[in-house]
Amino acid sequence: MVTPHPASTVPPGLPGLARFSHVRGDWHYLDNGAELSAHGIRPVGTVLAVHGNPTWSYLWRDLLETVTDRAIEAAAAVGEYPDGVQGAWRVVAVDQLEMGLSARTGRRRTLADRVADLSALTAELDLEGPVVTLGHDWGGVVSLGWAVDHPDRLAGVVLLNTAVHQPDDAAIPAPLRLALARGVHRWGTRTTRAFLETTLGLARPRLARDVADAYRLPYRAADDRAGIEQFVADIPASPEHVSRPELDRIADGVRRLDVPALLLWGARDPVFSDRYLDDLVHRLPRASVHRFEDAGHLIAEDVDYAPVVLRWLGSAVSGDDASASGSTAAGVPAFRPMWAGLDERAADPASRTEPAVLDLTTTGAGRRVSWRALDRQVRRIAAGLHEIGVRRGDRVSLLVRPGPTLTALVYACLRIGAVVVVADAGLGVRGLTRAQRGAWPQYLVGETTGLAAARTMGWPGVRIAVDPLDPVRRRVLGVEHELIDVARTGEGVDLPPEPGPDDDAAVLFTSGSTGPAKGVLYTHRRLSALRDALATHFAVGPETGLVTGFAPFALLGPALGTRSVTPDMDVSAPRTLTARAVADAVKAADARMVFLSPAAILHVVDTADRLTAVDREALGRVQTFLSTGAPISAGLLEAARSLMPAAEAHTPYGMTECLLVTDITLDGIREVADAPDAGVCVGRPVGAGRVLVSALDDDGAATGTPSDAPGVLGEVLVSAPHLKERYDRRWLTDVAAERDTPTGHWHRTGDVGHLDAAGRLWIEGRLAHVLTTPAGPLAPVGPEQAVERADGVRRAAVVGVGPTGVQQAVAVVEPVPGAGSARPGRAPERLDAAVRAVSSVPLAAVLLAPEMPTDVRHNSKIDRARLADWAAGILAGGRVTLP
């Protein structure tokens, strides 16, 4: 046996480790127990941390430092630390035998040996419960082995990128296949430091030299790296591998763990991809999950994970943080499934042959589907999906354009409890790739274009083609089923039991206009509450008829029990909708309600001169008109209303997280036209919804106690029965969104505004776009409205330039067509003077942009962040070209 490195050899260049370093027998480990005891602190439990290959306990140094220092600070603050106070945790981070500073025994160790080794050490340390295991890489498997074997002491499980199951029909990750290859294995893992250096090179950003040297410390000579070689050799790459039975035992045992779990995942890991995260989520359904989009394999180095773990320990294990708890069902109405309206209309002899869904798009070619036909197709597809293996909780990504086929697919998935994943093409290929990998669907249903993108970009999921394909194209696209065959398979087959109201129903992705698109998860109860809120507030009945040019609402017709029609347009490109197309849709469905997005309205108004007398007569029968997606000006709403003179015009306010928050009519907008309030009035809360505002401090942060006090500028918080359940696999985002909120289920919207004395909400911009001026925080929308009153200005954006706290306001204006110079840069003298004359705030400069840059999906939303960077560059003497 080779003598282990003594703790005294831990060099002083490794901060903090000296006070935690211990040796017992063959083991080296880090332990803060003595440090806590020296300060009179008795911990509430122990975190047992296990590293992977080729790291060592140094990986967990930040957790040791954070947990210990916070406990000591808390003890000092009160002068004592009572036994068992929540928040103080002992952390024991081991160096596995043959690894780190533990002994090189010369023995080849299998996975079962490593689990047994760890159990022997914890017995020697008298490690009693409660214990939370923490593991990374293959240390995750070893830690889970301990967890499975000690359920009586287990209080929770934390995992960083790891895997506990390798499918027989899937190859192990390419980097591991290379490391195992004959002629490479020993040379790459032991003879040289190639495997070690490759792993260290996965850090994002690159490791500092002293940190990288610390990881190299135990592995300087070839003999020191024998454990690295053994660990790679012990990867169960095939069913016949000696460690495969132990891996399978642990994987099966994980399913039976009835404890809280936290999964922190680096999304850019080339070894442990989201395939393995998805497997763990299914085995640990109680897990809180957060994917760090820009982190990789060495997630403990890439992100500040220690405070996250400590926060979770306090909320999920110790239970001292109510803000991190899940949502409640308080205020949620009685549950009626989304497909109830479809069932009723299809069963009613008076309506079953009437049209339920009409598709006027070019690809739809005027398809009309009756209630009876839609119900039959939904049931066939639902049963067929179940027959090919789709089960409750499985995710099904739908890359299908709005129309009857998408409608049938959505309701079929909902009926069998499959979770619908929707991310529209407006995100672009890169955004869609992030969304698909983040949601990790088990099945993907697509048209040919979507299937080609899935094949090219490697999106996950068993592929089902909507379009009939010849054998060659089917093979090239990796298609396993065609939807027509799925439906035939389900003909006459009984449906499985329906999902429950609190089962997951859908993951809808945000627009990506305020950062990477996030998955927003709705349960069946919350989707049904959205349907009920719409039906009640807008008096939607069987004879209403909907024209839906706004994608999120294009699928609600069957749920509302009324016919719906998709006009001739590309729903992912709102500016493709014309006034004639809206009129044609209204005529086809005899619709009384029209849903449009602000960007679509712009083009509808611009093309109104092409309407015929018959078109205008049809539009004159519309009773309700809604602009949904973003607040719009009274002028634009008035212009749209002029095309539908009998309609009550509404502009509801909402977001993907809560599609209907408040509502205001055109008459309501006129009522507040002379109000002194800045911003866009979006009305009062709908139904049981509530709105509060958290005041901004001088740095533009929303730190005030949420309240309904009038006139307070701050971040808007919303609560409603139809609010999202949570973000998908973004636990930390959920925690932040529920920060300092009242009791119940709330969402911090990221929008800023204020409430007036009548309880109406005024939106004044996004929190990220607030200017921090010497006079205090300044929201942009109010000043922009003032600037837009200047002659020759079509649209305006007011952005901040300079350091936080002393930012100066700069107005960027888009001129009306034909208003003179359209060259980007400083505005002409006359326009500059006109803007300054009407501005409500002092302006450091007035700049001209021929066309405002807008976000990826909502053409109506100006990209103020890009304009701020551009403005700063111009004022610093840089290029005037728009970004």
Q: pLDDT tens digits, residue range 223-261?
A: 999 999 999 999 988 889 999 999 999 999 999 999 999
The CATH architecture of the domain made up of 538-651 is 3-Layer(aba) Sandwich (3.40)
Q: What is the pLDDT of residue 512?
A: 65
Q: What is the homologous superfamily of the domain 666-768 according to CATH? A: Luciferase; Domain 3 (2.30.38.10)
Q: Which of 78-82, 212-216, 737-741 has the highest mean pLDDT?
A: 212-216
Please give the mean pLDDT across all residues of the chain: 90
Burial status of residue 731 (CB atoms within 10 A of its CB: 0-12, 13-18, 19 or more): buried
Asked whether the beta carbons of 466 and 483 are under 8 A apart, the reply is: yes
Inter-residue contact 601 to 567 (CB < 8 Å): no
Per-residue pLDDT at 122 = 97
Q: What is the pLDDT of residues 517-534, one digit of tens each?
A: 899 999 999 999 999 999
Residue 515 confidence (pLDDT): 65
How far are the Cα atoms of 232, 422, 566, 882 from residue 575, in angstroms, in the given order?
55, 21, 15, 22
Among 847, 801, 839, 859, which residue's Cα sits nearest to residue 822?
847
> Which structure tokens are listed for 721?
């029965």
Between 23-32, 166-175, 376-385, 740-749, the lowest mean confidence (pLDDT) is in 166-175
pTM of the model: 0.90
* pLDDT tens digits, one per residue of 286-306: 899 999 999 999 999 999 999
Q: Which residue has the higher pLDDT, 43 or 12?
A: 43
Taking a C-beta distance cutoff of 8 angstroms, is the pair 104, 224 a contact? yes
Dist CA 424 CA 511 (whole Å):
9
One fold for 7-170+238-319 and 538-651: yes
Helix, strand, or coil here: 480? strand
Q: What's the CATH fold of domain 7-170+238-319? A: Rossmann fold (3.40.50)
CB atoms inside a 10 Å sphere around CB 380:
21
* Res. 332: pLDDT tops 60: no
Q: What is the pLDDT of residue 7?
A: 45
pLDDT at residue 79 tops 80: no
Query: In this predicted model, which residue has the larger pLDDT, 846 or 426?
Result: 846
pLDDT at 360: 86
Q: Rounded to whole angstroms, what are the CA distances from 675 to 124, 458, 529, 751?
A: 74, 54, 33, 21
- Indicate if the pLDDT at residue 820 is higher than 70: no
Q: Report pLDDT for 423.
A: 87
Q: For residues 40 and 743, what is the distance between their CA atoms, to the nearest angstrom?
A: 35
Q: What does the pLDDT look like over 101-116, one tens digit per residue? A: 999 999 999 999 999 9
Q: For the segment 677-716, what is each residue's pLDDT rounded down to a tens digit?
A: 999 899 999 999 999 999 999 999 999 999 999 999 999 9
pLDDT given for residue 331 in this prediction: 47
Per-residue DSSP letters for 379-447?
A: HHHHHHHHHTT--TT-EEEEE--TTHHHHHHHHHHHHHTPEEEE--GGGHHHHHHHHHHHH--SEEEE-
Mean pLDDT of 637-652: 92
Structure-block tokens of residue 617: 């007569």
- Of the given ranges (82-91, 321-330, 421-430), which has the lowest mean pLDDT? 321-330
Share of the chain above pLDDT 90, in %: 73
Q: Which of 163-177, 388-402, 619-633 has the highest mean pLDDT?
A: 388-402
| Mean pLDDT score, 38-59 | 95
Omega prior to 205 cis, within 30 of 0: yes
Rounded distance between C-alpha atoms, residue 569 and residue 168, angstroms:
45
Cα gap 180→175, rounded to integer Å: 9
d(CA 209, CA 489): 60
Cα angle value 487/493/499 (rounded, 5°): 90
pLDDT range class, residue 856, cuts 50, 70, 90? very low
Query: Looking at the domain that runs over 371-499, which CATH code has it been given?
Result: 3.40.50.980
- Reduced to 3 states, what is the DSSP secondary structure of residue 777? strand
Question: Residue 257 has what pLDDT?
Answer: 96
The model's pLDDT over 807-819, given as tens digits with 9 standing for 90+, comes to 999 999 998 876 6
3-class SS of residue 283: helix
pLDDT at 429 over 80: yes
Q: What pLDDT is stored for residue 857 in this prediction?
A: 43
* 148 membership: H or E segment, kind and range: helix 138-149
Confidence of residue 598 (pLDDT cuts 50, 70, 90): confident
Give the pLDDT score at 484: 97
Q: At what angle do helices 579-589 and 598-606 cross, to 10 degrees?
A: 100
Whether 170 shows a pLDDT value over 90: the answer reads no
pLDDT at 326: 39
Q: What DSSP string describes 14-56?
A: STTTTTTEEEETTEEEEE-HHHHHHTT---SEEEEEE--SS--
Of 322-331, 434-443, 513-522, 742-751, which gets the smallest average pLDDT?
A: 322-331
- Give residue for tokens 């990790």: 440
> How remote is the C-alpha of 667 from its chain's centroid?
36
Query: In the prediction, which pLDDT does 632 show?
Result: 74
Hey, where are the domains in the chain?
7-170+238-319, 371-499, 538-651, 666-768, 771-875
Q: Are 511 and 410 in contact (CB under 8 A)?
A: no
Quick one: pLDDT at residue 57? Answer: 97
Q: Would you state the pLDDT for residue 224?
A: 95
Radius of gyration of the chain from its Cα atoms, rounded to whole angstroms: 30
For residue 576, pLDDT beyond 90: no
Q: Where is average pLDDT lowest: 171-185, 415-429, 500-514?
A: 171-185
Whether 584 shows a pLDDT value over 70: the answer reads yes
CB atoms within 10 A of CB 827: 24
Name which CATH class applies to 771-875.
Answer: alpha beta
Query: Worst-scoring range by mean pLDDT, 95-99, 130-134, 432-436?
Result: 432-436
For the chain, what is the total number of helices (H) and then of strands (E)? 31, 36
Q: What percent of the chain has pLDDT over 70?
A: 92
User: What span, in angstroms and rounded, lies between the C-alpha atoms of 396 and 510?
Assistant: 18
Q: Quick count: other Cβ atoms within 10 Å of Cβ 18?
A: 12
pLDDT bin (cut points 50, 70, 90) of residue 624 is: very high
Q: Give 540-560 pLDDT, tens digit per residue.
A: 999 999 998 776 677 889 999
pLDDT at residue number 552: 65
Separation CA 13–CA 211 (nearest Å): 9
pLDDT at 879 over 50: yes
CA angle 512, 516, 521 (to 5 degrees): 80
CA distance 491 to 651: 43
